[in-house]
Amino acid sequence: MLRTIVIDDEDYQRSAIEKVITKFCPNVALVGSANGVQSGINTITKNKPDLVLLDIKMGDGTGFDLLEKLDSINFKVIFITAFDQYAIKAFRFSAIDYLLKPLDPDDLIAAVEKAENIILKDFNVQLKNLKEHLTPDENRINKIIIKTFDNVHLVPINEILYCESDGNYVNIFLSDQTKIMVSALLKDYEDMLSSNGFFRVHRSYLINMKYIRSFEKADGGTLILENQIKIPVASRKKDELLEMFEILTRK
């Protein structure tokens, strides 16, 4: 059984979560609840949970404040948050589960089931990356968590050369010629990386603009990246790509 605690400063929210878990999550045992940072720490210390559903913004602090005050984090976490596009992007970069308010019962059930298979040591790496993304610092290097079958990779975004779709998988090629295959759709990485200088030039390719070395216009168009890597450009993307080149040359 997954010993679980719900921490949220809204009474009705805690009640709704507990009802869904009791009814639809047979492998979960609710062992406590709390309405803030300090009461949450006390409840965690007393009940030693396997999983905590943790609100981010509460009356006496944040979910991150709570985690920082603990000597160690020996449990898994599903964060609960109101919609904030910047925060959501940070969660996705870190491959950490989150639930949006107002909660969808189906999303809650799926997140709890997924939590049963999370490896705790991997979660701590993901949590560290999440905190870095949520900390304003213009000089830090953004990193993305890439989870494969047997590894969790913490990769600086500026080291990703390009991503290639391969059915239900994505091959991620790094500047040091490392290749990582992950079970995902290219659209997932397009959504996460488009604001970091990545551009989808083809239905099968998402490239890091900083590594473009030249553009061959013949035969529909081909991009030449570092190491003479050739990437085809879809005809419908050609004009948009050329416009981006114009913008970059004006800067």
- 191-239 pLDDT, tens digit each: 888 877 888 999 999 999 889 888 887 766 899 998 889 999 888 888 7
> Mind giving me the DSSP string for 33-97?
EESSHHHHHHHHHHH--SEEEEESEETTEEHHHHHHHSS---SEEEEEE---HHHHHHHHHHT--
Q: What pLDDT does residue 139 have?
A: 45
Please, which pLDDT band fits residue 161 given cuts at 50, 70 and 90? very high
How far is residue 156's CA from residue 139's CA, in Å, rounded to a whole number?
A: 13
**Choice between 66 and 91, residue whose per-residue pLDDT is larger:** 66
Q: Does residue 86 surpass a pLDDT of 60?
A: no
User: Cβ(127)–Cβ(110) under 8 Å?
Assistant: no
The type of residue at 239 is D
Please, which pLDDT band fits residue 247 given cuts at 50, 70 and 90? low
How far is residue 114's CA from residue 4's CA, in Å, rounded to a whole number?
A: 14
Average pLDDT over residues 95-110: 81
Q: What pLDDT does residue 248 have?
A: 56
**Choice between 65 and 87, residue whose per-residue pLDDT is larger:** 65
Q: What pLDDT does residue 32 have?
A: 95
Q: What is the pLDDT of residues 109-154, one digit of tens each?
A: 988 888 887 666 666 666 666 666 565 554 444 788 888 888 888 8
Q: What pLDDT does residue 138 have?
A: 46
**Choice between 12 and 173, residue whose per-residue pLDDT is larger:** 173
Query: Model pTM?
Result: 0.56
Which of 23-37, 102-116, 232-246 is least confident? 232-246
> Closest by alpha carbon to 206, among 220, 188, 218?
188
Four-CA torsion 114, 117, 119, 125, nearest 10 degrees: -20
Q: How far apart are the first and last CA of the chain?
A: 57
Which of 65-69, 80-84, 120-124, 185-189 is least confident? 120-124
Q: Which residues pair with 78 in a beta bridge?
A: 53
Coil vs helix vs strand at 203: coil
How far is residue 178's CA from residue 176's CA, in Å, rounded to a whole number?
A: 6
Q: Supply the Cα-derived Rg of the chain in whole angstroms.
A: 21
Q: Which domains does the chain show, CATH number per domain?
A: 2-133 (3.40.50.2300), 146-250 (2.40.50.1020)
102 upstream amide cis, omega within 30 of 0 = yes
